[in-house]
Amino acid sequence: MNILKKLIICCILLIGMNTFGYTAKDTNKTQIICASCHGKTGNTMTPSYPKLAGQNEKYFIKQMLAFKKTQRDNLIMQNIASNLTEADLRDLAAYYAKQSPQIGIARRVLVKPGQRLYRAGDKDRYLPACMTCHGPAGEGNSLAGIPMLAGQHSAYTKAQLFAYRTNTRKTDPNQIMQDIANHLTDDDIAALASYIEGLHRIH
């Protein structure tokens, strides 16, 4: 890790430990902190930070609790979540769920292979179609708490699929995503992540 990265993380941890604890109850101020990485309406331009706009509340809260309990690995988010109450999480989840997601653009050469796996899976490799759970347009399922994927940064999606595959992301007690990611090659992951970035959500 270079010095700049270390400094940035240090600053964030300091904000977390000092000011953040006192402002956590104030949802507006909290949103400003989130906005510095995730964007004001949850549509960040930084590829490694996930877009939150339009994400369903059930999934959102589950992930925040996973960071809080350090079940999901990310120092920054763990520290931020540890300062938030369940009421804060409900308010934040409701705010982001109401925002409109901005869809990105898929790379032309990856559309076909990405779409094939997304819509049909691959029987020979015991791969279910992503669409059966995440919806034909990547809209997710808010009742079941299955995440919306549409428009998400491909760099973030790739990182998550790798994390499931290496079993570093253990937020899914049924291991559905770990099992699926185990059957995906690096090329599959790149194609799926790009295809998902360009997926259009149907309202």
Taking the least distance from each CB to ligand HEC, the nearer of 28 and 108 is: 28
Contact 110, 194 (CB under 8 A): yes
- Sorted by sequence, the CB contacts under 8 Å of residue 16 that are 6+ apart come out as 79, 80, 82, 83
Compute the distance between CA of residue 158 and CA of residue 25 in angstroms, rounded to an integer.
Answer: 34
Nearer to ligand HEC by C-beta: 109 or 125? 125
Look at the chain and count its residues: 203
Q: Give me 167's structure tokens.
A: 């079993």
Sketch the per residue contact string, 10 through 39, with ligand HEC: x for CB under 6 A, - otherwise.
--x-----------------x--xx-xxx-
How is residue 166 written in tokens? 């290496």
Residue with tokens 């009742």, as numbered in its chain: 143
Binding mask 136-155 for ligand HEC (x = CB under 6 A): ----------xx-x------
Q: Which residues of 30-59 are buried (b: 16+ CB within 10 A; e: fewer)?
A: bbebbeebbbebbbbeebebbbbbbbbbbb
Find the binding residues for ligand HEC in span 37-76 (CB under 6 A). 37-38, 48-50, 52, 60, 62-64, 72, 74, 76
Of 77, 111, 137, 155, the residue at the interface with ligand HEC (CB under 6 A) is 77
Q: How far is the CB of 30 from ligand HEC (least distance, A)?
A: 5
* Triad 141, 135, 167: Cα angle to 5°: 75
Residues 90 to 119: which contact ligand HEC by CB under 6 A?
92, 117
- Minimum CB distance to ligand HEC smaller for 3 or for 68: 68
Judged by beta carbon, residue 26 or residue 202, the one nearer ligand HEC is 26
Residues that bind ligand HEC (CB under 6 A): 12, 30, 33-34, 36-38, 48-50, 52, 60, 62-64, 72, 74, 76-77, 80, 92, 117, 128, 130, 132-134, 146-147, 149, 157, 159-161, 171-172, 176-177, 180, 192
